[in-house]
Structure 1
């Protein structure tokens, strides 16, 4: 049986989880429709999700339609949990983008649509809530064409919109207006179809148009639009038929070498790790020993596959499947299984978090338990970027927004019995090199106390390139383990630059490397004092790297969001000064009837304040969309962040700390 891995995406409250429930009911997987308000849905399993009525963690369910097993991944709609969405994107064959017929295209809808289009994921659009007062399919179709894609085409109309009797009426195959719209859209992509239409219009039959629609939907060039109501079930059966007909099932070879990727990690009842993975090729079996991140390997002790809506134990699973694996004790989100696939789940499609806060336990004795609990949360969401400051006994996490902070607080209290508070949320800046700097320390020469030579050059890299490590020495001149130790330490050290922020967009070149080979006395006893180890290179690298970085110099950059603000025209003059006070810079303003559209940029740290002030500024009529756009140099004094380790820029303090660390290790 073929498998289709399908993602459901939407702005929060567009009805995505309710649609998932309706799909399961229509497919015969469940006997009763769950309710988000009542907390009885199949995919919102966390207590917090049921209490708040929002999806926080992605969930997998399945159903069968037309001989195809559909693994449906329900993802969060709130932008604070975009990391969950990101991980799902790497394992999908297709998607359904849900838009509210009342609220229309919203901020997160635009972000999701752009990402799906950029990744080439075949996507159907479902306009939900047609039974609600204010539903207007024509208006929403206009917004879809204007704000999401010009390649969308409605496959029917809504009758009795805005009433409980609203229903979806598919266009007849020979409907002349619908046929004309399909021909116009499809012939822009299909030269053979255009030639056939020009030669003989009647030769392009409804069946041929439908086949072309399936082809170009499967190639993510065309996006069919359906509409209906997840609550009443209107239009859902037609959507299910379209999913089976228009979205391509996954392809793979069960006999090929194993290739998969982990997109979610959770803990089981006994605290064991459970890895959710997509198998792209090959077959995984219980008791197989499989390789994953960095050469790790482990034996699979259990496999679940999705069948009839729920995970069931199996001895094996083939390509195309979503599986739950046990036995991978130190697995992480994004880890490849076997041969790395072309689209790993760890690849970043959205901006990283731009905020951070310090988590403070209400009871000082809870600090070790707090770190352990946050470490478990970081397994599920690596982008919270858990950071422990041993010097100040503080633990910091990265955030997308205030709602995510509230969820972390509630999770720690409810699941771990740890009441916590938070320090003020601050903006996460970055540093970029502004010049070229180099430094070297030689083995056996003062002031280098380590048995190794390391020389590094730091220079600016292209925007968005992260950290690139290059070899400027001959490969093989030092052991591979030593090279790996230097590169790993370079990347770790650059998490804190001259002012404490992560250093990005730079190239680090190893210009010198040396060591003393293993030495022993005449009676064959190994002499540690005369033999270099990887630890010598690890301890020396931060001193050399920070010296080179100091000579290169860095500039602190702050994250900036692009915003789009719709507001009543009569408030335009009032809102502009308020935007200026929040350091928002409008770039364009366009009058559209009785409304103004303002587009511009605002520092990430001021977005929350703008969201809070917007209702009072616009009589509750303004709508704001914002998303990370770029980093810009900080204007005025550059902010700094306290270091959470011993500072290599303070040589005496650093060497004392290393000496204490080495002395504490019995193997050194």
Structure 2
């Protein structure tokens, strides 16, 4: 039976994040068991977990798609989002972060702080998402909770508060005992940590005023600073044995924010996941930030779309249940929004915009069906996968009838291949996989096509100037024309015209002079004219690529390749072999850290060279060397710049472009 919204007091969207194999999904299972949702904890190894529902997830023992389940703690319904830990599926994490009230970052007590742990913590802090840290696997051989706590302070944040002590770590009898709030050790840690962010507390310490330092006051201060993302409580335990899970669960409503149920404000939400049910119907996962959405309601979403909501399913302990509506703070599966895409706002203006916090995919690959007769079926299948993961950036070269995808790595490639075979009955092959580069303008350039010009077949004027922008700024579109020059009889408002032109510019810059996406640039529209009633939106859309690419050609671009930060650890006696290997692959190492038995080397390496190092490192280090990687930046390519074949209508070739947009090719 649908649950009456009047019974809901508060909701909390909670993300579980971790480096792969740190025990993230196991912790999700343990929380569900602790809350009474599951009678028995599922096993990742046995493929019996609640959140890893895809056959491929159970087969591989990794999370591929973010999953939502719910449980209750006191008066709070927690919508738990279990995210992938493997870096090939970081896009799923990016989408989930936009809808979180709080997070639990899982760190292994054996492996400690790993490369993906650092990347995730950086994103959580950038968004100021309140976060608890759970040090898992304290029962495993080699577990060292104290060492891991020090590593957390060194590599993640010094603002941590251990919430208890561990006993018998590294054994089956390992346990976690939470501090009593009046425990002197706990009070001392709270005073030292919280006073760094609270001048009044620091003054109370200096003046020896006891009021702000009572256990109750300090714990309330801890909760406040945690909710502001200033401090990070640390719990310890084992998701497998259940030790430490209870104290962590009890802390969720106490230390992390929850949203009171409220349907009085205008509806505002975000689509953060899209999937298709067995019968092919599209379902949008929506987090509501304000107001309510009702079944059969006509709902605006995305860029000017609108549709009737045919079904609402909210997440409740035990599963998604049919509901009459979804209110602020809740997550629901909405049916009927056939055109919905990941990242679409729902209802009124979105109060929390999505942010791309992680590196884009660095691999570009062509994909083809083994049976040429299945080209159309493959395109349809990949279109569905692109709905679920827009980062794969499905593109089609119409002239060669080839499909291209952007990917993070080999595991993602294997998953796509197996998904197409299992779900769509398609056998495919991947061809020429290359590293994805970007282009940046090297100077400024301007171009214009004037209304009535001999070579301009469109009844419109478009003038554009391209200039370099700050590194990491993306594309900054600016409108610098008089309002009287804007065809308001077509676009209705200046804002609508600005948004449309920004969209035309963004679409054109997907492929620059060398075929790569152009970024870090300022694009200014500084000339515009039209005829009434002869000019249409189509004229501006078709003319913009010609003008923009002409301006870009005059500005010039430089092709930049992705660069990763690396961390190699290997036996000390293989140091020379490791340095030779890194040099062979254009890596730039920094000063090493040496011990009697091990060497640690950090530095930077072009993404195109990473696979070669990964393949050869074990052979150069007696099978003991390991490398951790994370995207760092784009640097100009040295030597001949790589190019990518165009899949657009080629506005660099005026004659070909005009023939294509006119439909004659």
Give the TM-score, by structure 1 length. Answer: 0.94
- Relative distance call for 1:140 and 1:233 in structure 2 (3 A) is same
Larger mean CA deviation between 478-487 and 176-185 belongs to 478-487
How far apart are 1:541 and its partner, in Å?
Answer: 2.2
How far apart are 1:206 and its partner, in Å?
Answer: 2.2
| 2:306 pairs with one of 285, 297, 301 | 297
Paired residues of 1:355 and 1:400 also in contact (CA < 8 A): yes
Secondary structure of 1:423 counterpart: strand
Distance 2:502 2:157 in 1: 43
Secondary structure of 2:259 counterpart: coil
| 1:125 pairs with one of 115, 127, 133 | 133
How far apart are 1:66 and its partner, in Å?
Answer: 1.5
Distance 1:209 1:439 in 2: 63
| 2:113 pairs with one of 105, 110, 113 | 105
Superposed, 1:197-216 pairs within 5 Å as 197-200=205-208, 203=211, 204-216=213-225
- Relative distance call for 1:598 and 1:443 in structure 2 (3 A) is same
Distance 2:453 2:148 in 1: 72
Match of 1:525 in 2: none
Aligned positions, number: 649
Distance 2:206 2:504 in 1: 64
How far apart are 1:201 and its partner, in Å?
Answer: 6.5
Larger mean CA deviation between 570-579 and 105-114 belongs to 570-579
Distance 1:589 1:285 in 2: 60
- Relative distance call for 1:564 and 1:251 in structure 2 (3 A) is farther
- Relative distance call for 1:253 and 1:476 in structure 2 (3 A) is farther
Superposed, 1:139-154 pairs within 5 Å as 139-154=147-162
Secondary structure of 1:413 counterpart: helix
| 2:549 pairs with one of 529, 546, 558 | 546
How far apart are 1:386 and its partner, in Å?
Answer: 0.4
How far apart are 1:137 and its partner, in Å?
Answer: 0.8
Paired residues of 1:391 and 1:645 also in contact (CA < 8 A): no
Distance 2:501 2:156 in 1: 46
2:643 counterpart of 1:635: no
Secondary structure of 2:477 counterpart: strand
How far apart are 1:194 and its partner, in Å?
Answer: 2.5
How far apart are 1:226 and its partner, in Å?
Answer: 1.0
Match of 1:498 in 2: 513
2:530 counterpart of 1:515: yes
Distance 1:323 1:563 in 2: 40
- Relative distance call for 1:373 and 1:478 in structure 2 (3 A) is same
Secondary structure of 1:294 counterpart: coil
Give the TM-score, by structure 2 length. Answer: 0.94
Secondary structure of 1:608 counterpart: helix
| 2:316 pairs with one of 296, 307, 316 | 307
| 2:379 pairs with one of 371, 378, 386 | 371
5+ residue gaps, structure 2: 1-8, 492-496
Distance 2:178 2:524 in 1: 61
Deviations 1:237-291 (A, max 9, x none): 1111122221121257420111111100111222111111111111111111121
Secondary structure of 1:158 counterpart: strand
Match of 1:268 in 2: 277
Distance 2:183 2:90 in 1: 41
Paired residues of 2:10 and 2:261 also in contact (CA < 8 A): no
Match of 1:279 in 2: 288
Distance 2:504 2:641 in 1: 26
How far apart are 1:179 and its partner, in Å?
Answer: 2.7
Deviations 1:428-463 (A, max 9, x none): 111111112122222222222222222222221222
Superposed, 1:378-389 pairs within 5 Å as 378-389=386-397
- Relative distance call for 1:340 and 1:608 in structure 2 (3 A) is farther
Secondary structure of 1:45 counterpart: coil
Match of 1:600 in 2: 603
Distance 2:101 2:86 in 1: 23
5+ residue gaps, structure 1: 519-530, 663-668
Secondary structure of 1:371 counterpart: helix
Deviations 1:142-186 (A, max 9, x none): 211111111112112221222222111223444333332222111
Secondary structure of 1:476 counterpart: helix
Paired residues of 1:559 and 1:632 also in contact (CA < 8 A): yes
Paired residues of 2:485 and 2:530 also in contact (CA < 8 A): no
Superposed, 1:218-229 pairs within 5 Å as 218-229=227-238
| 1:334 pairs with one of 322, 335, 343 | 343
Match of 1:235 in 2: 244
Secondary structure of 1:305 counterpart: strand
Distance 1:486 1:318 in 2: 35
Distance 1:89 1:122 in 2: 11
Match of 1:53 in 2: 61
Paired residues of 1:24 and 1:309 also in contact (CA < 8 A): no
2:465 counterpart of 1:457: yes
2:70 counterpart of 1:62: yes
2:444 counterpart of 1:425: no
Match of 1:619 in 2: 622
